[in-house]
Amino acid sequence: MALLGIDALFIGSSFIDAVRGDLIDPTVELLFVATHTHYAPSLDQSKPRLGETDNDWFYKAAKIVAAQINALLGERGIDARASYGSLPCNLSVYRRRRIPTPKSRFPFLQGKILLVPNRSRKIPNELQLFQLQTMEGVPLAVIWSWPCHPVEASNRNSINAAFPGAVKAAIRAATGLEQLPVIFLPGFCGDIRPAITQSVARTAFIEMFKAPSKGDIEAFEKGVCASALKVLASASPVDLAESFQFQRLEMPLSELLEDSTSTLPIASLSCGPFSVTALGAEVCSPYLDQLGFNASKPTFFTGCAAPTFGYLPTDAQIAEGGYEAERFKEFFGVTGSWKPKVTARVVSEMRAVTRAPTSISSRRHKPVEDLLLPGLVEVDG
């Protein structure tokens, strides 16, 4: 199987189909995860309201990805050793806050959940990093995660990998390996974004997100890079198992949303204590508490796996309303009302997929390949 990290907002089913159509072995297991940068050409034709798709680039990108997978399939497995570390990175903030808004009738004010910084809400802020090396200590690949929307760029019309690209460049510079695979997993970042804010008179001095200046962007990305490099330098050895395990299931969205005919893909990849559990949704951060997440262990949870249907809020967030619970639907083409016990249903399925893995030991210690498309995204720095 192959774990693929691509700088894109989302990766759609039609893109995966196009890639598989050019594979020498179309049955190979593929786990696509988008970095979720908001500044890349669309690779998801099912979400036109989030950006038009350039079909020429779409199919060219699919061929580039397929060619890299074919090359990977032709390689022999190698023995590898691993290390892992984590560290808090306090540069993000919860983006849901109840704000009084005008109402035409008594009492003339109502509380409404808006996309506004909420520093009173504790969020997961651990930056996790897993590194594979040859037995001689030469880096082979890095997988890292930090739950935060990559939305810090100032020019929304400029192709940009955002902070995942900045960290990739920093790690490659630190290791001296310009082609080192560096895969970013966006985590459960559905309700978290960079803490680039301001409080001004026109917003009654309520802290709001602001359009970042060049200095804001540089300071933010420098801080994230510094945290990543610190974890890279201090990571501790991890004992890998003799084989990777992989399992995938498709949860019918009709179990979560009325009148839905789509699915929520959930996949689990593991090798000894190391694991990645990936969902095809923009998962909101409180799900980590439900899963008993512990950043001291090399267990990664991420959203934005392909294909992604939309946001996945918790029951409490659904009751509150707001963009992640309701307003996103019109942009993602999602219809129907949420059913009761969404959180419990999703957590149950996630636990099920991690309990019954299927061995793929024939690809022992296959190097994890990063499929960054150089023509898709310019990396800052």
pLDDT band at 232 (very low <50, low <70, confident <90, very high): very high
Q: Write down the pLDDT at residue 361.
A: 35
Does residue 40 have a pLDDT over 60?
yes
Taking the C-alpha atoms of residue 66 and residue 68, their distance in angstroms, rounded to an integer, is: 5
For 276-325, the pLDDT digits (tens) are 999 999 999 999 999 999 999 999 999 999 999 999 999 999 999 999 99
What does the pLDDT average to over 363-372?
35
Scored b (16 or more CB within 10 A) or e, 303-317 reads bbbbbbbbbbbbbeb
What does the pLDDT average to over 346-363?
71
pLDDT band at 183 (very low <50, low <70, confident <90, very high): very high
Taking the C-alpha atoms of residue 216 and residue 195, their distance in angstroms, rounded to an integer, is: 10
Q: Using only the alpha carbons of the chain, give its radius of gyration.
A: 20
Taking the C-alpha atoms of residue 315 and residue 303, their distance in angstroms, rounded to an integer, is: 18
Taking the C-alpha atoms of residue 48 and residue 170, their distance in angstroms, rounded to an integer, is: 33
Burial class of 188 by CB neighbour count within 10 A (0 to 12, 13 to 18, 19+): buried
Instruction: To the nearest 10°, report the CA torsion of 175, 229, 378, 161.
Output: 150
Q: Length of the chain in residues, anyone?
A: 381
Taking the C-alpha atoms of residue 170 and residue 304, their distance in angstroms, rounded to an integer, is: 23
Cα–Cα separations (whole angstroms), residue 87 to 100, 144, 145, 234, 243: 36, 11, 11, 10, 28
Q: Which of 156, 173, 188, 205 is nearest to 92 (CA)?
A: 188
- 0.75 exceeded by the pTM? yes
